[in-house]
């Protein structure tokens, strides 16, 4: 879907569930990104959004998307760098006096670690995947705390490969397991500030990051046959769950992992 078509279709209820709520979204690479599906869902219910992108080359793609949801805050931020995280929140603090939510939809592993055998993962490849895909949630949440002075919601994206072995997912499965455990520890730490931390375990969706996993197309076909709903999940369905988690509807939910996978994860045999 082109960006122009996208922007025409965007609707917004100014008095929606997220009226007056503000937040930052990490991980929009293009209009297929799960982060973008989350952005559209939150925008549709009245939220105000800030965005970051990892590398300068992406600015051209992110800016029009951000503009289509009325965002005036778009900053470059490599989450692998503490100084980028610090400067992003410093700038955000000048833009807004508080935020209500953070969406973390970021992951990375070397392509060669997403095929073959997990046992061959190098020390460097392991550290990189865990750093970008799991530690960044901790770093971003900590940096967001001073601005989350009225409670809030942190949402991250995970995958079933954290729980069970998925061929070729390898080190990313281990990183997602660390991410899901981090969600629980962060939820326990931050509950007294009324900050909720949850993850969405999305079924496979065709995105840039997903296409880096060897055999991803076969995964889509397999899920379509086996999932109770007999189809793959759509990015919009992930976005709607992010909306639920950031809204007051989920006021009693923290430390959870919600599967949005057409039921695939409940099937054994
Ligand atoms: P995507 O569109 O490629 O998004 C991944 C994002 O992570 C990109 O914006 C990427 O930026 C960013 N990123 C990587 N390294 C970064 C860094 N050091 N600093 C800042 N940003 C960085 O793919 P996606 O599928 O939507 O992925 C979003 C999240 O959903 C990931 O956590 C992924 O594991 C999770 N997820 C995806 C699926 C699926 O099937 N698609 C299923 C379950 C969970 P660059 O493009 O610049 O690298």
Q: What angle do CA 73, 75, 76 make, to 5 degrees?
A: 165
What's the confidence (pLDDT) of residue 27?
97
Instruction: Choose among 130, 156, 179, 137: nearest CA to 34.
Output: 156
168's torsion region: left (phi>0), alpha (psi -120 to 50) or beta? left
59/42 Cα distance (integer angstroms): 21
Over residues 55-74, the mean pLDDT reads: 92
Element (H, E) at 50: strand 48-53
At a CB cut-off of 8 Å and minimum separation 6, what does 87 contact? 75, 77
What's the confidence (pLDDT) of residue 4?
38
CB contact at 8 A, 46 and 22: no
CA of 108 to the centre of ligand 1 (A): 7
Q: What is the pLDDT of residues 67-111, one digit of tens each?
A: 999 999 999 999 999 999 999 999 999 999 999 999 999 999 999
CB contact at 8 A, 102 and 152: yes
pLDDT > 90: what percent of the chain? 92
CA of 258 to the centre of ligand 1 (A): 18
Window from 2-16, 67-81, 201-215 with minimum mean pLDDT: 2-16
How far lies 36's CA from each of 27, 28, 96, 106, in Å?
A: 8, 6, 21, 12
pTM: 0.96
Query: Which domains, and CATH codes, for the chain?
Result: 3-263 (3.40.50.720)
How far lies 208's CA from each of 4, 28, 90, 185, 237, in Å?
A: 20, 10, 29, 29, 18
Over residues 30-34, the mean pLDDT reads: 97
What's the confidence (pLDDT) of residue 2?
40
81/78 Cα distance (integer angstroms): 6
Q: Which atom of ligand 1 has the smallest separation from the CA of 81? A: 18
Q: Chain-wide mean pLDDT for the chain?
A: 95
8 — pLDDT class (breaks 50, 70, 90): low
Over residues 8-28, the mean pLDDT reads: 93
**Ligand 1 pocket member 33 (CB < 6 A):** yes
**Ligand 1 pocket member 106 (CB < 6 A):** yes
18 — pLDDT class (breaks 50, 70, 90): very high
């Amino acid at each position: 879907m082109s960006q122009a078509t996208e922007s025409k279709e965007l609707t917004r209820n100014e008095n929606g569930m997220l009226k007056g709520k503000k937040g930052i979204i990490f991980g929009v690479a293009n209009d297929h990104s799960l982060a973008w599906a989350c952005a559209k869902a939150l925008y549709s219910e009245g939220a105000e959004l800030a965005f970051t992108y990892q590398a300068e080359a992406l600015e051209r793609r992110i800016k029009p998307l951000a503009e289509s949801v009325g965002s005036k805050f778009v900053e470059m931020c490599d989450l692998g760098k503490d100084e980028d995280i610090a400067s992003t929140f410093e700038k955000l603090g000048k833009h807004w006096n508080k935020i209500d939510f953070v969406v973390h939809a970021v992951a990375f592993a070397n392509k060669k670690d997403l095929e073959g055998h997990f046992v061959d993962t190098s020390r460097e490849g392991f550290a990189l995947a865990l750093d970008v895909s799991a530690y960044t949630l901790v770093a971003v949440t900590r940096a967001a705390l001073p601005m989350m002075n009225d409670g809030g919601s942190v949402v991250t994206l995970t995958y079933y490969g954290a729980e069970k072995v998925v061929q070729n997912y390898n080190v990313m499965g281990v990183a997602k397991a660390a991410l899901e455990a981090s969600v629980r520890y962060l939820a326990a730490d931050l509950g007294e500030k009324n900050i909720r931390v949850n993850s969405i375990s999305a079924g496979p969706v065709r995105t840039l990051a997903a296409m880096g996993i060897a055999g991803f197309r076969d995964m889509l076909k397999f899920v379509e046959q086996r999932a109770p709903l007999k189809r793959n999940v759509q990015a919009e369905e992930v976005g709607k769950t992010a909306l639920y988690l950031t809204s007051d509807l989920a006021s009693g939910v923290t430390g959870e992992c919600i599967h949005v996978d057409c039921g695939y994860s409940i099937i054994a045999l």
